[in-house]
Amino acid sequence: MTTEFDRTPGGAIIMNGNALRDETVIRLRSEIQAMGLGMPTVCLATVLVGDDKPSQIYVRMKHKKAAEAGMTSKHVGLPPTATQAEVEDAVRALAADPTVHGILVQIPLPAHLNTEAVLDLVPADKDVDGLTEASMGRLMRGRPGHVPCTPKGVLRLLERYSIATAGMRAVVIGRSSLVGLPLAVLLARKGIDATVTLAHSRTNDLAAVCREADIVVGAAGIAGLITAEFVKPGATVIDVGVSRTESGIVGDVDFDSVQSVAGAITPMPGGTGPMTIACLLENTLEAARMLGALPLATALPEGR
């Protein structure tokens, strides 16, 4: 590892997701501008049901960064009382709109709605969140498609900070379809070549399992789960978990204790969250290409 990066008081490299997100936005804007006039405007559409404040903040940030990247965006906001039919009609309209290249349905949806039925209406090529059954199937089969944004963001951070993965042991704590499961697949994929253990809250002696790893990813949503005893000296620790507590938003990693042991660590906030947005925008640009609206780019290495 180089010495150019900021470090914690304990000496761990800080894997700055805010900085890498901003670099990504600038790169995407340059790519879009380089295509010149006459190309369709890349468009991201979001669907938000209800008035959940964090979800509203997330959606606003996505639109803000899309604009900075030279994209346009469209938003469909529905009341918390929206029916299944109303939500499905909104998604169908976006799916049929040729000017929309990427569709993101902000989840969780209100409890009375069938989330899977809504997501099933998002075409795979427009599924820039990478969460539909079709997208997950493409991921498992290694076919072209959109990688879920948060796992993709983790890979981008590992790449940016030159964290070795080939032959390394990685433990992913959490088995959700949003993060844990796809990230385990991506880390094991040819070209990344980590040896992956998918752990969870019921794993026997979880701390001992994690101490064997070169890379530890917390994605269980259990505040402060990962402490210094979980981390072997010099390991990379990535915090994906989000928990809302009385003291605010916290992650799965007890940052203060772990930073004195780890070789590299993501902050919370400012680590994987910003990279989720960056990769959403990457996927949106790629969606425009997959749909034939823009010229195809040079193929990315497998796993990116």
Task: Tell me the sheet residues that pair with 199.
Answer: 173
Say if residue 301 is preceded by a cis peptide, omega within 30 of 0: no
84 counts as catalytic = no
DSSP 8-state class, residue 140: H
For the chain, list the domains and their CATH numbers.
35-123 (3.40.50.10860), 149-272 (3.40.50.720)
User: pLDDT digits over 190-235, tens only?
Assistant: 999 999 999 999 999 999 999 999 999 999 999 999 999 999 999 9
| pLDDT over 50 (residue 303) | no
Task: Tell me the sheet residues that pair with 243.
Answer: 250
Question: What is the model's pLDDT at position 294?
Answer: 87
41 closest CA partner among 94, 81, 96, 99: 99
User: pLDDT digits over 228-274, tens only?
Assistant: 999 999 999 999 999 888 878 899 999 999 999 999 999 999 999 99
The burial of 111, by beta-carbon neighbours within 10 Å (0-12 exposed, 13-18 middle, 19 or more buried), is given as exposed
User: pLDDT digits over 166-175, tens only?
Assistant: 999 999 999 9
* Cβ contact 84:78 at 8 Å: no
User: pLDDT digits over 52-82, tens only?
Assistant: 998 999 999 999 999 999 999 999 999 999 9
Q: How many other C-beta atoms can be found within 10 angstroms of the C-beta atom of residue 50?
A: 17
Residue in 62, 65, 126, 152 annotated catalytic: 62
Task: Quote the tokens at residue 217.
Answer: 């990813």
| pLDDT over 50 (residue 302) | no
Say if residue 110 is preceded by a cis peptide, omega within 30 of 0: no
Strands (E), 106-193: 169-173
Residue in 65, 125, 127, 129 annotated catalytic: 129
pTM of the model: 0.93
Average pLDDT of every residue of the chain? 94
Residue in 106, 127, 152, 254 annotated catalytic: 106
Task: Quote the tokens at residue 49.
Answer: 């049901």
Where does the pLDDT of residue 38 fall: very low under 50, low under 70, confident under 90, or very high at 90 and above?
Answer: low
56 counts as catalytic = no
- Residue 271, phi then psi, degrees to nearest 5: -110, -95
Which residue in the block uniquely carries the two structure tokens 């990247």? 69
Where does the pLDDT of residue 37 fall: very low under 50, low under 70, confident under 90, or very high at 90 and above?
Answer: low
Question: What is the model's pLDDT at position 246?
Answer: 80
Residue 6 to residue 8: CA distance in whole angstroms: 7
Name residues whose C-beta falls within 8 Å of residue 179's C-beta, 6 or more positions apart in sequence.
148, 150, 151, 219, 240
Where does the pLDDT of residue 39 fall: very low under 50, low under 70, confident under 90, or very high at 90 and above?
Answer: confident
